[in-house]
Amino acid sequence: MRRFAGQTVFVTGGNKGIGRGIAKRFAEEGAKVAIAAIEKDTPAAAEALANETGADVIGIVLDVTDAAAVRDAYGAAEAKLGAISVSVQNAGVITIAKVEDLTEREWDLNLDVNTKGVFLCCQEAIRRFRASGSKGRLINTASGQARQGFIYTPHYAASKFGVVGVTQSLAKELAREGITVNAICPGIIHTEMWDYNDRVWGQMLGEYGPGELMAEWVEGIPMGRAGTPAEVGALVAFLASEDAAYITGQTINVDGGLIMS
């Protein structure tokens, strides 16, 4: 399929993990893709994705918590690739700490990147959708922890519940303009972030060796396996397509049936 031929798609956190799976899916379907991430090697990641898919892909180093930087990044993407019609707010962080050890800095980092960053990118994308007359698509990455919080991560859970609230509010405000806003809740996905989760939660919850805690959690998934970034990318591509034109304000789990609500 080439559902996005000629379209420009902006993906934050698109240099690795779930974000790369999303960016790759759009590139494979004909889109021109801008990946934006805070890591300095983001342009190199974009070049690698372009070589892999044959698509037009650019990489932009971006701190999503900086409104001016967000504005400049979207401007740079449009200058090189054309008007943006899909924006995927995927950049995120997680830290894990017992409540008595959780610092204000950690709290602020999670809320700033995961919630404020989503809002700032949505805000800038909306401005550009309106300027170009596009019935754009906004897709925000929440988490299974936007459904139910987990031990040692109240700050992360709060940030992801916030993503759902932002999504619903914007969806209601923009519906009459034909701009849709939806969120996804990935579960356990094979990524570097889940390697971190397995290691740190494993140390805090008991004497788990590498991979043991994640394997225990995977046993609780009805499908019996973790997901892949490509499977998350497939859902995001659907939500960005014309087939999903009547879907807005929704939060959709992609977790093999782990959370059914």
Read off the pLDDT of residues 190-240 as tens digits, 9 standing for 90 and up.
999 999 999 999 999 888 988 999 999 999 999 999 999 999 999 999 999
Residue 101 located in a structural domain: yes
> Catalytic: 156?
yes
> Strand, helix or coil at 205?
helix
Residue 38 located in a structural domain: yes
Residue 3 located in a structural domain: no
- Reported pTM: 0.97
Residue 216 located in a structural domain: no
Residue 183: partners with Cβ closer than 8 Å, 6 or more residues away: 139, 140, 141, 142, 146, 163, 164, 167, 250, 251, 252
Residue 166 located in a structural domain: yes
For residue 65, what are the domain limits?
8-189+229-254
Mean pLDDT of 20-35: 98
pLDDT band at 245 (very low <50, low <70, confident <90, very high): very high
The structural domain count of the chain equals: 1
pLDDT band at 152 (very low <50, low <70, confident <90, very high): very high
The pLDDT value recorded for residue 206 is: 87
Lowest mean pLDDT among 79-83, 120-124, 189-193: 189-193
Looking up residue 163, the CATH number of its domain turns out to be: 3.40.50.720
- Catalytic residue selected from 74, 156, 208, 246: 156
Q: Which two tokens stand for residue 157?
A: 């859970």
| Residue 1 pLDDT greater than 80, yes or no | no
Closest CA to 26 of 116, 132, 139: 139
